[in-house]
Amino acid sequence: MMQQRSHSAGRTGARARRFAGTSLTGLALLAAAATLGGCGTIGGSGGTVSQTSETEDNQFAASPANIASLTAVIQRNPSDPQAYNMRGSVFGQAGRNTDAMADFDKAISLDPNYAQAYANRGLINRKTGKLDAAIADYNRALTLDQNYAVAYLGRGIVHRLKKQPFDAFKDFNQAISIRPDNSEAYYNRGLLYQSQRQHKFAIDDFSTAIGLSQSQAEPYVARGLSYMAINDLKAAATDLDDAVQAEPQSLQAWTTRAFAYERLGDKEKAAGSYARALNIKQDHEPAKQGFARVGGRAGQTYQTF
């Protein structure tokens, strides 16, 4: 497994030159999630980062009790922008985007130089599809704090969603230079390489992301997809074994693992993995089709490992 030190300045520069030399036709292929040849039935490899990476103040679970506690803090300190930013972060994790936006707006009105509140509002704008507004918020956060790695990461993701790969690449590089322990930045840069079919560079970045944070399925799934793209099916299967162990309820991980074992010719593990995916979501069409392809039968027990 590659460590973060493998990303020396020289290697990053070489990658940037190769990325910059991509044809315009190739650039059109860059998108929010990787689409790999031969893996179309699996679906995308996950183009978003976990929201907690951009709500650094949030140390509470998004539960009604904690929201009530934070509301009590605001009632005692109605002019404290940090209190609004904190509650807005929890609202965001709870999926209450309108409430989160109102709290971030209030925090910014109380402190127009609150960089983190702008970045958090940028995340909500991104989640709700307001990409231009998200860019504006991240730009403002970076004007206030030029070393704010989280804002570079968030803006890079928006650039990737807007199919602006060069801008995304620069932002991810900047986030990494400021915070070389930022697994999300390596992961998202890996998605850029992957969708450009530069799988060796993608695998390198996913490996670093995994080395920094081994508890998430997405980098394992993404690296597994790149291994499949270069026909290293055994390495792909190993990654996808790790993915489902990291997140046993990941629909994407089980479906992708099933496809890897299907390509390896192991119908038993493929059927078992498709069955696990269908236990998570019964109407998941890729898993339904795959289960039928490998001769899966409802009610039958299959060995998954």
Check pLDDT > 50 for residue 57. no
Give the per-residue pLDDT at 27: 24
- The mean per-residue pLDDT over the stretch 64-71 comes to 90
Q: In the structure encoding, which two tokens stand for residue 211, read together?
A: 């080395």
Closest CA to 20 of 159, 203, 198: 198
Confidence of residue 214 (pLDDT cuts 50, 70, 90): confident
Region 155-174: mean pLDDT is: 96
> Mean pLDDT across the stretch 292-299?
94
Q: Who's near 139: CB < 8 A, 6+ residues apart?
A: 155
Q: Say yes or no to pLDDT of 297 above 90.
A: yes
Give the separation between CA 149 and CA 171, rounded to whole angstroms. Answer: 9
Write the DSSP string, 185-215: HHHHHHHHHHHTT-HHHHHHHHHHHHHH-TT
Residue 135 contacts residue 155 (beta carbons within 8 Å): yes
Q: What are phi and psi of 171, to 5 degrees?
A: -65, -40
Contacts of 165 (CB under 8 A, 6+ apart): 19, 27, 30, 159, 192, 196
Average per-residue pLDDT for the chain? 84
Global pTM?
Answer: 0.77
Band (195; pLDDT cuts 50, 70, 90): confident
Confidence category of residue 30, pLDDT binned at 50, 70, 90: very low
- In this structure, the dihedral spanned by the alpha carbons of residues 182, 106, 64 and 77, taken in order and rounded to 10 degrees, is 110
92 pLDDT more than 80: yes
Query: Would you state the pLDDT for residue 65?
Result: 87
pLDDT band for 61, please (50, 70, 90 cuts): low
CA-to-CA dists, residue 103 to 55, 74, 86, 200, angstroms: 13, 10, 9, 43
- Spacing of C-alpha 84 from chain mean position: 26
| Better-predicted residue by pLDDT, 15 or 253 | 253
> When comparing pLDDT for 25 and 145, which is higher?
145
More reliable by pLDDT, 55 or 146? 146
For tokens 């998202």, name the residue: 188
